[in-house]
C-alpha cells in the first residue's frame, strides 16, 4: 500500500490530486488499514455519526453449521424422499439448506439440497449430563431414526476421521462437527442470510452486496452467515445493506481479500453503523422490501422500489449531493 501511494508522484495532475486527497485510515484492527480520499473520509464520518453499530442492536449474527463431511449429511430431494419413505420419522431432522453460492441479493436460489441435522449426542442432546461421545446416545439414535442411521453408517470411516481431536471424544461419529449448539433454533426463524466471502466482481453472477431474506427455515452452511431479530428491523437493515451505500459499508468495515473479495466475518458486519429509526419508519421500509421480495419471486420489475429505498437511505445518513454522486460512481 505504501508503494501504491508513491506511485502517484509519477502521474502528473492525477497524481497530485491523489497525493493531496488520500489519507490512511485505521480500520478496526491493528492489522488492517485502508486508504480513503477526503470525500470518503467525510462519508465514513457521517455514517459513524448517524449510525449505531449492529453489535448494539437487538439482533444476532451467527455463522452457518459445519458438517465436516458434506457427502454424508447433505442430500438432494430424491434422497430426502427415500429416507422419509423408509422411515417417516426421518422428516423430523431433515432441513432445507443454503450454501453461500445459493445466496443472491434479496433472495436465493434453492438448490433442492437438504441437511441431516444431527446435533452432538442426538437424540439425547438436551441431556446436560452427557459430556462426551455417548454410546447411549448412539443406541437411541439407531433405534429412533433407523433409516438415517443406516445411511450414515456407510460413511462411518470418513466421519470418524474428521477432526480426530474431537470426533469420538467430544461428540459421536454420526453428529455434525459444528451444529450451532447455542443458536440452532435461530435457523428456524425468519432471517437475513449472506455469503461469507462476497465479491464485487459481476462475473461471479450476483449483485454486490448480496443479503437475502429467508422465511423457509433453511439451515445455513458454514459458507454463509445468518442475522436474526425483529422482522421490521431486519428488513430495514437489509434495505440499507443492499443499497448503494451498503457497498461503502462493506468496503469501509470488512477486510478485503485478493481478487476483489471481502470476508464477511460476523465481527466485521457487527461494526456496520446503521441509524436507528422510529417503528413507523421501520415498517415503511420493511413493506418496501416485502414488495421487492414479492416482485422478485414473480419475476416482475422493482427498480423504482430500489431507487426509493436508495434515496431514503441517503437521506437517513444526511448525505449531500456531492457525496451521493461520489457513491453512485463507485
**Which tens digit of pLDDT belongs to each residue from 236-262?**
999 999 999 999 999 999 988 877 899
pLDDT at residue 257 in the model: 86
| Whole-angstrom distance, CA of residue 22 vs CA of residue 208 | 25
Residues whose CB is less than 8 angstroms from the CB of residue 87 and which lie 6 or more positions away in sequence, other chains included: 145, 146, 147, 148
Q: What one-character-per-residue DSSP string does 27-84 give?
A: -SSTT-EEEE-HHHHHHHHHHHHH-EEGGGSS-EEEEPBB-S-HHHHEEEHHHHHHHH
3-state secondary structure of 5: helix
pLDDT at residue 197 in the model: 94
pTM across the whole model? 0.87
Instruction: Give the angle subtended at the CA of 282 by the CAs of 278 and 287, to the nearest 5°.
Output: 150
Q: What are the structural domain ranges in the chain? A: 188-328
211-214: strand order across its sheet: 60-63, 224-228, 191-195, 211-214
Strand partners, 106: 212
Strand partners, 220: 98
**Burial (Cβ within 10 Å: 0-12, 13-18, ≥19) of residue 220:** buried
pLDDT at residue 260 in the model: 83
Cell numbers 461503502: residue: 248
Residues whose CB is less than 8 angstroms from the CB of residue 34 and which lie 6 or more positions away in sequence, other chains included: 24, 25, 27, 251, 252
Nearest residue to 83 via CA among 144, 131, 171, 149: 149
C-alpha cell at 167: 470426533
pLDDT at residue 33 in the model: 56
69-108 residue pLDDT tens: 999 999 999 999 999 999 999 999 999 999 999 999 999 9
Q: Which parts of the chain register pLDDT below 50?
A: 1-32
pLDDT at residue 65 in the model: 96
| Whole-angstrom distance, CA of residue 34 vs CA of residue 44 | 12
Strand partners, 91: none
Amino acid at each position: 500500500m505504501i508503494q501504491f501511494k508513491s506511485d502517484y508522484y509519477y502521474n502528473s495532475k492525477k497524481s497530485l490530486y491523489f497525493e493531496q486527497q488520500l489519507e490512511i485510515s485505521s480500520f478496526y484492527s491493528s492489522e488492517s488499514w485502508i486508504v480513503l480520499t477526503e470525500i470518503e473520509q467525510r462519508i465514513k464520518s457521517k455514517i459513524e455519526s448517524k449510525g449505531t453499530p449492529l453489535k448494539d442492536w437487538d439482533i444476532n449474527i451467527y455463522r452457518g453449521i459445519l458438517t465436516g463431511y458434506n457427502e454424508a449429511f447433505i442430500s438432494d430431494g430424491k434422497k430426502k424422499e427415500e429416507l422419509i419413505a423408509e422411515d417417516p420419522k426421518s422428516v423430523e431432522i431433515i432441513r432445507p439448506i443454503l450454501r453461500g453460492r445459493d445466496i443472491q441479493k434479496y433472495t436465493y436460489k434453492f438448490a433442492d439440497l437438504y441437511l441431516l441435522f444431527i446435533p452432538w449426542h442426538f437424540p439425547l442432546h438436551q441431556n446436560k449430563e452427557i459430556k462426551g461421545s455417548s454410546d447411549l446416545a448412539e443406541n437411541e439414535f439407531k433405534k429412533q431414526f433407523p433409516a438415517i442411521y443406516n445411511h450414515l453408517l456407510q460413511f462411518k470411516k470418513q466421519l470418524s476421521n474428521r477432526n480426530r481431536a474431537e470426533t469420538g471424544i467430544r461428540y459421536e461419529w454420526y453428529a455434525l462437527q459444528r451444529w450451532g449448539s447455542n443458536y440452532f433454533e435461530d435457523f428456524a426463524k425468519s432471517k437475513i442470510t449472506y455469503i461469507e466471502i462476497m465479491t464485487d466482481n459481476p462475473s461471479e453472477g450476483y449483485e454486490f452486496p448480496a443479503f437475502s431474506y429467508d422465511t423457509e427455515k433453511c439451515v445455513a452452511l458454514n459458507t454463509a452467515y445468518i442475522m436474526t431479530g425483529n422482522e421490521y428491523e431486519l428488513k430495514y437493515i437489509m434495505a440499507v445493506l443492499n443499497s448503494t451505500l451498503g457497498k461503502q459499508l462493506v468496503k469501509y468495515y470488512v477486510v478485503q481479500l485478493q481478487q476483489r473479495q471481502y470476508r464477511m466475518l460476523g465481527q466485521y458486519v457487527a461494526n456496520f453503523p446503521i441509524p436507528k429509526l422510529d417503528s413507523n419508519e421501520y415498517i415503511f421500509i420493511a413493506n418496501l422490501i416485502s414488495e421487492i421480495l414479492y416482485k422478485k419471486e414473480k419475476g416482475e420489475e422493482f427498480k423504482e422500489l430500489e431507487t426509493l429505498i436508495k434515496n431514503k437511505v441517503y437521506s437517513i445518513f444526511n448525505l449531500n449531493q456531492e457525496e451521493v454522486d461520489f457513491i453512485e460512481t463507485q
